[in-house]
Copies of this chain bind each other. A is one copy, B any other.
Amino acid sequence: MNEQLARSGLHQQIGFALRQASSAVWSDLVATLAPFDLRPQVYATLLIVEANAGCKQQDIADALGIHRPNLVALVDDLVARNLIERSVNAADRRSYSLVLTDEGKAHLDAARAAHKVHEGRIAKALGSAPHSGLIDALTNLAKIGTPR
* Chain A contacts to B: CB under 8 angstroms: 1-2, 5-10, 13-16, 18-23, 25-26, 28-29, 40, 44, 47-48, 50-52, 55, 58-59, 62-63, 65, 115, 118-119, 122, 126, 130-134, 137, 141-142
Known pairs A5-B52, A5-B63, A65-B1; A21 contacts B23 (CB<8 A) = no
Does the CB pair B62–A2 fall under 8 Å?
yes
Does the CB pair A9–B51 fall under 8 Å?
yes
Does the CB pair B65–A15 fall under 8 Å?
no
> How many Å from the CB of A99 to the closest CB on chain B?
13
The 6 A-B pairs of least Cβ separation, nearest first, read A22-B22, A8-B51, A8-B47, A18-B22, A2-B62, A8-B48
Instruction: Name the B residues within 8 Å of A55 (CB-CB).
Output: 5
Does the CB pair B2–A119 fall under 8 Å?
no
- A9 and B69 CA atoms in complex are apart in Å by 24
The answer, among B7, B22, B63, B134, for a CB contact under 8 Å with A131, is B134
Instruction: Name the B residues within 8 Å of A131 (CB-CB).
Output: 131-134
- A25 and B2 CA atoms in complex are apart in Å by 25
Does the CB pair B47–A9 fall under 8 Å?
yes
Instruction: Name the B residues within 8 Å of A7 (CB-CB).
Output: 51
Instruction: Name the B residues within 8 Å of A142 (CB-CB).
Output: 65
Does the CB pair B52–A18 fall under 8 Å?
no
Closest residue to A47 on the B side, CB-wise? B8
- A10 and B60 CA atoms in complex are apart in Å by 11
